[in-house]
Structure 1
């Protein structure tokens, strides 16, 4: 299945926190969107592989994405090596996205920056036809996305551009709260699991505050920010004239 946008997250819930507003908006615009999680988040203090899998499926429905899968790399210990690069290449060639979204370039959690580099390397190498991959014995064609954009996570990184998610912020928060074991929600009020950095109500407030701050930069209510190592280009000024300022 060819998609327009393929979003990678090293942990289930990274995509929801970093770029779900963009995915929701894009899906509602008629674009095909898929999500690939690199690990099962098995090292998380709260929840289990089984609960995270169920929560990821629930979040996918809320976001309206067309497909979601997990590459089952080792949470916390995966490396940028041939085996893992090829796993990502297989996913990119399978979905043939024009745009790839992935983790922050560097962040509080060391997995984020490492996975960011892993996906960026794989996106380039996926375009080399002499790297051979196959699914169920069927050879895949080489495919290189046009752009790789890195979403912003815990640490503030200055974005190269922002995406207006004003109409989709409420749905974004619902997608985040689908992870009942991880974040504060009515379903986790009486949990006996330990409190963590992300499980307090204050953490969700920071997600909203970040979106408010980025939205203000372009004169809208809420936005998500992205970093691109490749310079985005335009062919006319309509993209600027039509946006709200």
Structure 2
């Protein structure tokens, strides 16, 4: 079966990372017909709550809610995202397979080491995927995406640009709510930073980011290179 060509390819270390940082942006672009693909580097097998099976089911549900066309999970180890040639090759192969226009990854400055490690892996793979003689285990040809952007998971950083998500903020909340094992205390679960009002904190950050740009809600991003503006310098 032929793989779809992605407008947006977003990477996360664990299922729910992408939804936290850019679930609204994904939903917004999916709603206007853009092809959005998520790739989780690990199965989050070391999560304090939930299981690999339950996390996978929640990830599928969240992707469906947001309108994500495909979601893939690599077999890289949770808490073992090291900058190795094998790991870079696996991520580069995903980039080549989906031939995205733009790529997203977590911002490197984050309290969780796996998020920073994911950022470093994707940066290396983003570059390597465009080298014609760079080899991966797949047969896909080299592909150079236009831009690599970084979304925030934990923390609040000054963004290089923002995306207005006011019209899809409810969709983002619904996508996050799919991760009941992570954001809700249930039978057999333990209290973690994620179960203590974490989703409310994320939405509050989106509201604060929106105020920075004169909107109700926005998601902020950082860039790996300067943005080129053509005709949108002064807006609509």
> What TM-score do you get using the length of structure 2 for normalisation?
0.96
Give, in angstroms, the shift of residue 239 of structure 1.
5.3
Report the 3-state secondary structure (helix = DSSP H, G, I; strand = E; otherwise coil) of the residue aligned with 1:101.
strand
Give the equivalent residue in structure 2 for 1:166.
166
Q: Is the 8 A contact 1:132 1:140 kept in 2?
A: no
Question: Quick one: distance in 2 between partners of 1:165 and 1:48?
Answer: 31
Question: Quick one: distance in 2 between partners of 1:208 and 1:20?
Answer: 11
Give, in angstroms, the shift of residue 14 of structure 1.
0.1
Q: Is the 8 A contact 2:19 2:175 kept in 1?
A: yes
Give the equivalent residue in structure 2 for 1:142.
142
- Given the alignment of the two structures, is residue 215 of structure 1 paired with residue 218 of structure 2, yes or no? no
The 5 A counterparts of 1:10-159 are 10-135=13-138, 139-159=139-159
Q: Is the 8 A contact 2:101 2:145 kept in 1?
A: yes
CA distance 1:175–1:239, shift in 2 (3 Å)? farther
Question: Quick one: distance in 2 between partners of 1:239 and 1:166?
Answer: 22
Q: Is the 8 A contact 1:21 1:165 kept in 2?
A: yes
Q: Is the 8 A contact 2:90 2:136 kept in 1?
A: no
Give the equivalent residue in structure 2 for 1:199.
195
RMSD: 1.1
Deviations 1:122-155 (A, max 9, x none): 00110001112343xxx21100111000001112
Moved more, 152-161 or 17-26: 152-161
Give the equivalent residue in structure 2 for 1:183.
183
Question: Quick one: distance in 1 between partners of 2:36 and 2:140?
Answer: 20
Question: Quick one: distance in 2 between partners of 1:181 and 1:240?
Answer: 44
Question: Quick one: distance in 2 between partners of 1:56 and 1:179?
Answer: 7
Question: Quick one: distance in 2 between partners of 1:44 and 1:32?
Answer: 29
Unpaired segments ≥5 residues, structure 2: none
Report the 3-state secondary structure (helix = DSSP H, G, I; strand = E; otherwise coil) of the residue aligned with 1:231.
coil
Give, in angstroms, the shift of residue 85 of structure 1.
0.3
Report the 3-state secondary structure (helix = DSSP H, G, I; strand = E; otherwise coil) of the residue aligned with 2:50.
coil
Give the equivalent residue in structure 2 for 1:240.
234
Question: Quick one: distance in 2 between partners of 1:68 and 1:196?
Answer: 26
Runs of 4+ in 1 over 6 A off after TM superposition: none
Unpaired segments ≥5 residues, structure 1: none
Give, in angstroms, the shift of residue 158 of structure 1.
1.1
Aligned pair count reads: 233
